Structure 1
Amino acid sequence: MSGSELVFHTNPMSRGRIVRWMLEELGVEYRTVVQEYGTGMKSAEYLAVNPMGKVPALQHRGVVVTEAAAICAYLADAFPQAGLAPAPEDPLRGPYLRWMFFAAGPVEAAVTARALDRLPPAEKAGFVGYGSYEQAMDVLEQAAAAASPWLLGERFSAADVYVGSQVDFGLFFKSVPERPAFTAWAERLRAREAYRRARALDDALLPSTD
């Protein structure tokens, strides 16, 4: 592996689909390494890349980045010519980071807790960062409703990739309520050429059902 090569570790049945979409939006060259559950992901070789033994993970310029939100943010900054992240001095940098971290933190935690039937009782809501599942969804809906057409207005960004993926996946798996603001934003995202390319690439890697 050369120092500047982008190596993308993924599995088509994982959050790696988010990073694949991000890479396709960038339009850069990268090499895909598919890691299998329970074997490749837990191998000594891969654990040296990501000790958590999960995907996605990215290797670039001697750096390893894990966690889908962090990878999207890293790639947007590493390839500024794609225009997928506001510069530090840009006032849009604040909303960009806000929604990225909101989706990676409160939204992810609330959706997971609900799926596992581990939501806290109302009197304990203050102990968790998302408060309640309903509150997290209401705030996420505010962001989606304001996306005109994207989270940062006319400018598409890595926040649309990451936060939008949470909504897109959530609608498919019924972990996010089907509200007009969510479905409208998801439809706009699904119409993007990079989204479609990424989906086709990942679908082609799915195990055959024959």
Structure 2
Amino acid sequence: MAAALTLYTNPMSRGRIARWMMEEIGQPYEVDYLGYGGTLKSEEYLAINPMGKVPALRHGDLVVTECAAICAYLADAFPEAGLAPDPADRADYYRWLFFAAGPVEAAITNKAMGFVLPEGKGRSAGYGSLDHVLEALETAVAGKTYIAGGAFSAADVYAGSQIGWGLQFGTIPARPAFVSYWDGMKTRPAYVRASELDDAAMPKPQ
């Protein structure tokens, strides 16, 4: 009997990335929605993720946190889904998956929060500047259907989510390369299913 999969998430969170990945692997799973300031900080959940944030994944007795790690883990745990290249061909896969999780996430979050780096401190921040990050991301997707090689992968789930949200909320400029890449991602059946499921779980207006 296969180990059970449980996704701990909130529909208004980065857990939507993990939900998309869950739909891509095509395995049965359960969802435990957690509330901000409530069950997220319960002793029971802190035993799963001491950070008290979502998403987290339980696979049998194993726990994985952090979206990029969840995506990479699921791609390896369910190779039949074809969501990771062969080990010898994973350079771009690892490169762009973790670039999206590191520099892209940090630069966009800092910009959205209004954090301004002191003059000359770009190298200390690790990502240089938002402009440099966006230029690099643009080269990763320009003229491509997929970000790493010739097939869809977990790297597209993560990078695609970042680009999709960035275009939606205006934190990533609508450059042709970004728009074209996201147009190819947002019609994937697994993404559509994941979005519909999370949208249906959104809090209803009072």
TM class by shorter-chain length? over 0.9
| Whole-angstrom distance in 2 between the partners of 1:14 and 1:116 | 16
Q: Could you say which residue in structure 2 is the equivalent of 1:143? A: 140
Q: CA RMSD in A?
A: 1.3
**Are the counterparts in 2 of residues 3 and 60 from structure 1 also a CA contact under 8 Å?**
no
Query: Normalised by the size of structure 2, how large is the TM-score?
Result: 0.96
State the secondary structure of the residue aligned to 1:184: helix
State the secondary structure of the residue aligned to 1:113: helix
Which residue identity is paired with 1:75? L
Q: Deviations over 1:53-81 (max 9, x none)?
A: 01000001311100001000000000000
**Relative to structure 1, is the Cα distance of residues 105 and 13 closer, same or farther in structure 2, using a 3 angstrom cutoff?**
same
Displacement of 1:175: 1.1
Q: Could you say which residue in structure 1 is the equivalent of 2:94? A: 97
Q: Could you say which residue in structure 1 is the equivalent of 2:150? A: 154
Displacement of 1:173: 1.3
Q: Deviations over 1:50-107 (max 9, x none)?
A: 010010000013111000010000000000001101232x22x010000011011111
| Whole-angstrom distance in 2 between the partners of 1:69 and 1:204 | 24
Matched, 1:124 2:121: yes
> Please, which runs of 5 or more residues in structure 2 have no aligned partner?
none
Matched, 1:133 2:130: yes
Structure 1: which 4+ aligned runs deviate by more than 4 Å?
none
**Are the counterparts in 1 of residues 96 and 155 from structure 2 also a CA contact under 8 Å?**
yes
Q: Could you say which residue in structure 1 is the equivalent of 2:28? A: 29
**Relative to structure 1, is the Cα distance of residues 122 and 177 closer, same or farther in structure 2, using a 3 angstrom cutoff?**
farther
State the secondary structure of the residue aligned to 2:121: helix
**Are the counterparts in 1 of residues 12 and 202 from structure 2 also a CA contact under 8 Å?**
yes
State the secondary structure of the residue aligned to 1:123: coil
The correspondence of residues 160-171 of structure 1 with structure 2, limited to 5 A, is 160-171=156-167
State the secondary structure of the residue aligned to 2:142: helix
| Whole-angstrom distance in 2 between the partners of 1:44 and 1:140 | 39
Aligned with 2:186 (options 177, 187, 190): 190
> Please, which runs of 5 or more residues in structure 1 have no aligned partner?
none
How many residues are matched? 206
State the secondary structure of the residue aligned to 1:28: coil
| Whole-angstrom distance in 1 between the partners of 2:184 and 2:205 | 30
| Whole-angstrom distance in 1 between the partners of 2:188 and 2:128 | 33
Which residue identity is paired with 1:20? R
Give aligned-pair identity as a percent: 54
Matched, 1:39 2:38: yes
Query: Normalised by the size of structure 1, how large is the TM-score?
Result: 0.94
| Whole-angstrom distance in 2 between the partners of 1:146 and 1:124 | 33
State the secondary structure of the residue aligned to 1:86: coil
| Whole-angstrom distance in 1 between the partners of 2:97 and 2:148 | 12
